[in-house]
């Protein structure tokens, strides 16, 4: 039952973001940029485990994974302004993000940061 609650609440947040963004793109972007999913993930993880070591590892890794995702939000509008259709721009943005995730994991490992 807890899983259904988590899924429903997460889905409602996504629906609110897309609904608000239709009328107010900037405000929708603000809501989307809030770390709501990260906070909910932390709440759910804590509720299920009460494990501070696991929480510390999760939050630390989340920080490192946010960084390589940021260029996507610059790349997608830039390539769309240059004529790339939305789904192509999205695919390119996601592909670059996956590549940057891989580089982040590799680089973090070389620096002694466990992800």
pLDDT value of position 114: 86
Overall domain count for the chain: 2
C-alpha 66/C-alpha 49 separation (Å) is 23
C-alpha 62/C-alpha 11 separation (Å) is 21
Same domain (yes/no): 87, 98: yes
pLDDT value of position 12: 93
Same domain (yes/no): 40, 55: no
Same domain (yes/no): 57, 83: yes
Buried b (16+ CB within 10 A) or exposed e, 64-92: bbeebbeebeebbeebbeeebeeeebbeb
Length of the chain, in residues: 115
Domain that holds residue 43: 1-50
Q: Check whether 37 has a pLDDT greater than 90.
A: no
User: Considering the entire predicted model, what is its pTM?
Assistant: 0.81
């Amino acid at each position: 039952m807890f899983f259904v609650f988590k899924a429903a609440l997460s889905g409602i947040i996504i629906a609110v973001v897309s609904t608000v963004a239709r009328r107010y793109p900037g405000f929708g972007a603000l809501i989307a940029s809030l770390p709501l999913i990260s906070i909910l993930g932390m709440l759910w993880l804590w509720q299920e485990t009460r494990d501070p070591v696991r929480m510390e590892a999760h939050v630390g890794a989340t920080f490192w994974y946010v960084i390589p995702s940021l260029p996507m939000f610059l790349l997608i509008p830039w390539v769309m302004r240059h004529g790339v259709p939305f789904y192509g721009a999205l695919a390119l943005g996601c592909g670059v993000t996956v590549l940057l995730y891989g580089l982040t994991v590799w680089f973090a490992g070389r620096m002694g940061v466990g992800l």
